[in-house]
Amino acid sequence: MAFLSLSSLVVATFSFVATAAPNDFQKPLLPHRCNNTPKARGCWGRHSIDTNYYTDPPDTGTSVHWNGIRILNNVQNDVVPGVSQCAVAPGGTFSYRFKATQYGTGWYHSHYSLQYTEGLLGPIVIHGPATANYDEDFGPLVLQDWSHKPMFTAWSELQEWGMTHSLDNLLINGANKLDCSTSNDPNCRGGTEKFKMVFQQGRSYLIRLINVAVDSQFRFSIDGHSLRVIANDFVPIVPYDTDSVILNSGQRYDVVVEANSDPKDYWI
């Protein structure tokens, strides 16, 4: 996950390199002069009657969607693979270019298969005016659910059994604890820490909330503090105060928090 920060009203350029094991996408197609006949089937390039699509891994590529950003008259720089652009082949590169005419908090993610559920995503901040004052921009707070079972496996089981599974953990900026004794993941490692943010009493902080979950809704709050909501999904709004905000997948809220409580730890 990488963080992209931009200034408003500028041309944004984002270069993306797809990395994966070499596969059939990298095999050159045979020249067009090759003719297929009922007795000569070698001109179909990477396609073969011997391919077992139930067991052989599919060709993998990727593409990036700029969630909520208006890519006006430039759809070739905003996914969808096979519709508005070709997928970026493994080992290939593609530079996304668009004019950032909006401002606020957003995020990008792969729009190819289930790649974003495995972590191909990141926050975007396009700087612009705010509807309330604050002392410090704390930056993005990425809210995420996480499965220790690969989502590709979970999806295959969904197709076979018609049910999903509860995800194993919830993350804030990629961090949380998990008791590995309750996990079936052989790669699970303990000793991790919960996410922490440090405020200075008397100062106010802008927090950019982003829900990048696969299938989870979040209610976000900080004990002992109110949230002043100033923007939602790239839309500046008249500020209002609340104890919590609810974010569905893909939604963003910009909130200002006053560190005016007694100095001690508070649960997020």
Query: What would the pLDDT profile of 18-69 be if each residue is shown by its tens digit?
Result: 554 433 333 344 444 567 777 766 666 666 667 665 555 455 788 999 998 9
Is 118 part of a structural domain of the chain?
A: yes
**CA distance linking residue 241 with residue 258, whole number of Å:** 11
Is 134 part of a structural domain of the chain?
A: yes
Last residue of a domain, one of 128, 143, 169: 128
Is 60 part of a structural domain of the chain?
A: yes
Last residue of a domain, one of 103, 128, 153: 128
Is 37 part of a structural domain of the chain?
A: no
pLDDT tens track for 188-245:
877 788 999 999 999 999 999 999 998 889 999 999 999 999 999 999 999 999 999 9
Is 36 part of a structural domain of the chain?
A: no
Q: Which two tokens stand for residue 117?
A: 């559920």
CATH of residue 221: 2.60.40.420
pTM: 0.78
- What amino acid is encoded at 8 in this protein? S
Does 197 lie in the same domain as 101?
A: no
Does 74 lie in the same domain as 7?
A: yes
**CA distance linking residue 220 with residue 209, whole number of Å:** 9
Domains held by the chain: number: 2
**CA distance linking residue 175 with residue 141, whole number of Å:** 11
Domain membership of residue 111 as a residue range: 1-25+56-128
Map tokens 């953990």 to a residue: 169
For residue 217, give the 3-state DSSP assignment: coil
